[in-house]
Amino acid sequence: MARHVLREAPVDAYCKGMLAEILQPIMGKGLIPADPATWRVRRRAIVPGFHKRWLNRMVTLFADRSDILVNDLKQKAGQRVDLEERFCSVSLDIIGKAVFNYDFGSVTKESPIVKAVYRVLREAEHRSSSFIPYWDLPYADQWMGGQVEFRKDMTMLDEILARLINDAVATRREATVEELEERDNSEDPSLLRFLVDMRGEDLTSMVLRDDLMTMLIAGHEVC
């Protein structure tokens, strides 16, 4: 069934419906809300990044980040701990290193980014169950409390991604997919590094932003 849905059936055979409309302000044309034509192009560009060497490196990364969490919990022995928040924090740290080569450090300190991701997810969930598109009301992001907060959260996340993308592009070392798969990227094994260095890849900031925002938000929710 999975093979039929993902490989055999036409891409436009399934409608994403309201989900795509709700997620578009957050993820733009990322893989989840993307239209079929965009989805084909971006999926083809992103898939090579999940090669064997990268996956092996990620197993080590998961263990390293989990050790930090375990050590932090040991120091808090006897205290009341919000484990859901702790697990979300370690998930964010893993995504940060795996996708952006950025250390959010949210396990060992309170992270405004974790809170922003939480609120953005909560807003998306709320929109999916709303009878009216209240977020489209004139100047909603200037007078509705939840929408003002949503705009601030998205601005902060966009600024972080923009900085990381610009830094990666500034240090680009173009190579073929085969060369990238064999490259020893121990200092920066991130997916962003792979996408930026991939020869012929579209380096439009908005394209990378949408892909990376999708991985940050959706990946954090899955974790």
Q: pLDDT 10s digit of each residue in the chain, 223 long?
A: 988 887 788 767 777 777 778 888 888 888 888 888 888 888 888 888 888 888 888 888 889 999 999 999 999 888 998 888 888 888 888 988 888 888 888 888 777 887 888 888 888 888 888 888 888 889 888 889 889 999 999 999 999 889 988 988 888 888 888 888 888 777 788 888 888 888 776 667 788 888 888 888 777 665 5
- The CATH number of whichever domain residue 46 belongs to comes to 1.10.630.10
Task: Please give the pLDDT value at position 41.
Answer: 82
The alpha carbons of the chain give a radius of gyration, in whole angstroms, of 19
Q: For the whole prediction, is pTM greater than 0.85?
A: no
Any residues with CB less than 8 A from the CB of 201 and at least 6 apart, and which? 45, 195
Which range of residues forms the domain containing residue 202? 2-222
What span, in angstroms and rounded, lies between the C-alpha atoms of 196 and 169? Answer: 6
Count how many domains the chain has. 1
